[in-house]
């Protein structure tokens, strides 16, 4: 059963009734076995960020066997002992050097690796539950995108010049795979007019997602004996007061994306329980609820710094990463899709250009990254049909 995760469902539209999804019929779609096999093969590889080479090689061989020209796009900073590369592919009969639409997702996952498993009747039905690391985020998107494109090509609904596939590394860490792909694509004489990004959206078309801000906050104090804490300055106490006030402050809110939230992911400080600590550090991630895409995160960063300074105008050092951005807008004006807005980050801002951006995928973000990551076969089959409609829309618009 799907979990509803959107804090603010945006404009909601009823699905068109001109076609039934595979989950609403008693018969299996003709691609069921191919979809199951591809999805399982992808999930069977442990492709934690930084270790994507094996799944990438598999995907290249798979795509070549199914009529694509496929190659690895090696990242220039790769360790020669641990190569890292994106997988890019296009139909082998393509006449031009560019494609109208890029269909893309990522092949890396977060740790720890969780083996593939399947629960349900044999033979499998739409209700069959498929679990394991990456089943949702984002190998569910990769598998259903590939099958959808193969189906569209086989039916003649799209031509070999319409689409290309790009499956990148590093989305869960530094985003370096998409940034490199973006740099290469920018050199093409004719840029793509649209990109379809695959991430878990509950089978809804996302109108956008929150921005991101990653910062390290360090509090400085004066060490001393814990029996006389008032004579010294506890860095951990100052840091805690600053963090709580930051969390409780409205750092930026919009109607579409909601409020900016702050998660304290890492926290450390002190050397012993009976010593007043002179240093404490927190690493926080802000989910930015305001725009613009370029600059929205800077507004939030300045507000965070003002909050910390109001707690103590001397104690804090505050440093944020360069990979920051404000709220991201996507196109969601597509007939037949219900829509939503999501709170997580994606590779969308790393793919530069004037192309139209679509965000869609099977499965729930609430189980992604967790021990219970799973989705149903029906989710996957519905995604194939939805990707077919979405890719057709992107090609024809």
Q: What string of DSSP letters covers 27-43? A: SPPTTHHHHHHHHHHHH
Quickly tell me which residue has 């505050």 as its tokens.
318
396 is an active site residue: no
Mean pLDDT across the stretch 366-380?
97
- Residue-wise pLDDT tens digits, 237-268: 999 999 999 999 999 999 999 999 999 999 99
Residue of 151, 171, 199, 381 with catalytic role: 171
Reduced to 3 states (helix: H, G, I; strand: E, B; else coil), residue 164 is strand
- Tokens at 49, concatenated: 């960020």
Residues 6+ positions from 343 with CB-CB distance below 8 Å? 7, 209, 210, 258, 261, 287, 365
Residue 11 has pLDDT above 50, yes or no: no
Residue 302 has pLDDT above 80, yes or no: yes
Q: What is the pLDDT of residue 197?
A: 98
Is residue 338 packed enough to be buried (19+ CB in 10 Å), middle (13-18) or exposed (0-12)? middle
Reduced to 3 states (helix: H, G, I; strand: E, B; else coil), residue 390 is helix
- Tokens at 394, concatenated: 């992107």
- Residue-wise pLDDT tens digits, 98-155: 899 999 999 999 999 999 999 999 999 999 999 999 999 999 999 999 999 999 999 9
d(CA 87, CA 332): 27
- Tokens at 63, concatenated: 């795509």
d(CA 76, CA 28): 44
d(CA 149, CA 88): 14
Mean pLDDT across the stretch 369-395?
98
Residue 219 has pLDDT above 80, yes or no: yes
Residue 8 has pLDDT above 70, yes or no: no
Least confident of 64-68, 90-94, 159-163, 218-222: 90-94
Q: What is the pLDDT of residue 202?
A: 97
CB 127 within 8 A of CB 134: no
Residues 6+ positions from 179 with CB-CB distance below 8 Å? 350
Alpha-helical regions (H) of the chain: 32-44, 53-65, 139-155, 176-185, 235-248, 296-311, 377-396
d(CA 23, CA 373): 20
CB atoms within 10 A of CB 72: 16
CB atoms within 10 A of CB 328: 25
Count of all residues that appear for the chain in the document: 397
CB 141 within 8 A of CB 379: no
Q: What is the pLDDT of residue 314?
A: 97
Reduced to 3 states (helix: H, G, I; strand: E, B; else coil), residue 77 is coil
Q: What is the pLDDT of residue 78?
A: 67
Residue 21 has pLDDT above 80, yes or no: no
């Amino acid at each position: 059963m799907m979990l509803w995760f959107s804090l603010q469902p945006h404009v909601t539209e009823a699905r068109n009734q001109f076609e039934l999804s595979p989950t609403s019929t008693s018969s299996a779609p003709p691609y069921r076995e191919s979809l199951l096999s591809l999805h399982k093969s992808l999930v069977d590889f442990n492709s934690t960020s930084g270790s994507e080479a094996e799944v990438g090689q598999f995907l290249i061989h798979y795509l070549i066997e199914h009529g694509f020209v496929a190659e690895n796009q090696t990242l220039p900073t790769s360790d020669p002992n641990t190569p890292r590369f994106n997988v890019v592919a296009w139909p082998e009969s393509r006449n031009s050097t560019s494609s109208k639409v890029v269909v893309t997702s990522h092949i890396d996952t977060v740790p720890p690796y969780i083996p593939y498993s399947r629960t349900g009747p044999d033979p499998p039905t739409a209700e069959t539950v498929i679990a394991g690391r990456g089943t949702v985020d984002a190998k569910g998107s990769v598998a259903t995108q590939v099958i959808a494109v193969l189906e569209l090509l086989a039916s003649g609904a799209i031509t070999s010049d319409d689409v290309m596939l790009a499956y990148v590394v590093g989305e869960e860490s530094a985003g370096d795979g998409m940034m490199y792909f973006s740099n290469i694509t920018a050199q093409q004489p004719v840029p793509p007019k649209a990109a379809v990004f695959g991430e878990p959206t509950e089978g809804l078309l996302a109108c956008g997602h929150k921005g991101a801000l990653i910062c390290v906050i360090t509090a400085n104090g004066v060490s001393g004996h814990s029996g006389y804490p008032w004579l010294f300055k506890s860095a951990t106490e100052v840091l805690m007061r600053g963090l709580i006030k930051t969390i409780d402050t409205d750092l930026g809110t919009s109607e579409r994306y909601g409020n900016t939230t702050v998660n304290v992911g890492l926290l450390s400080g002190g050397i012993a329980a009976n010593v007043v600590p002179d240093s404490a550090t927190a690493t926080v991630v802000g989910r930015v609820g305001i725009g613009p895409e370029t600059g929205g995160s800077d507004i939030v960063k300045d507000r965070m710094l003002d909050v910390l300074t109001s707690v103590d105008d001397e104690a804090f050092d505050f440093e944020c990463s360069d990979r920051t951005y404000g709220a991201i807008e996507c196109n969601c004006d597509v007939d037949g899709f219900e829509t939503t807005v999501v709170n997580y980050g994606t590779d969308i801002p790393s793919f530069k250009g004037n192309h139209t951006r679509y965000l869609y995928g099977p499965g729930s973000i609430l189980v992604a990254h967790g021990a219970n990551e799973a989705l149903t076969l029906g989710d996957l089959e519905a995604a194939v049909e939805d990707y077919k409609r979405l890719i057709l829309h992107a090609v024809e618009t």
